[in-house]
Amino acid sequence: MPVIVYVEAGGQRTRVEVEAGANVMRTAVHNGIGGIVGECGGAAMCATCHVYIEDEGAETLPPVGEVENEMLESAAAERLQSSRLSCQLNVTGNIETLVVRIPDRQL
């Protein structure tokens, strides 16, 4: 089973086993992961699901879409090369472990 590892701003790591296709934002919200808000419910309209992807899983993800790119510009925390909106990320077939770091603020 694929695994998502969430690393909260304070350093706490939570490992969640998921079905293939699981959404990174929804999985966080359902598991009570601190720091991922998901205010718009996954419509790419709020940027409160901002995460940084660790190298390990980065190449296996689809590229940043146009709407995602625009919304990342309004993220509360600094945008980095590894920034993504977690609501736009699903754990696809090739991913065994996806490590996402959560910024220190979303609002």
**Which residues contact ligand FES by CB under 6 A?**
25, 38-40, 42, 44-49, 71, 85, 87
Which of 2/84 has CB closer to ligand FES? 84
CA–CA separation, 85 and 52 (whole Å): 9
Q: Are 100 and 54 in contact (CB under 8 A)?
A: yes
Q: How far is the CB of 42 from ligand FES (least distance, A)?
A: 5
Rg, the chain, Cα only: 12
Which of 1/31 has CB closer to ligand FES? 31
Q: How far is the CB of 12 from ligand FES (least distance, A)?
A: 21
Q: How far is the CB of 26 from ligand FES (least distance, A)?
A: 9
Q: How far is the CB of 18 from ligand FES (least distance, A)?
A: 17
Is the C-alpha dihedral spanning 53, 34, 49, 38 positive or negative? Answer: positive
Q: Which residue is nearest to ligand FES (CB)?
A: 87
Q: Looking at this protein, which amino acid is placed at residue 41?
A: G
**Who's near 11: CB < 8 A, 6+ residues apart?**
none
Which of 48/90 has CB closer to ligand FES? 48
Q: Residue 2 corresponds to which tokens in the numbers above?
A: 């694929």
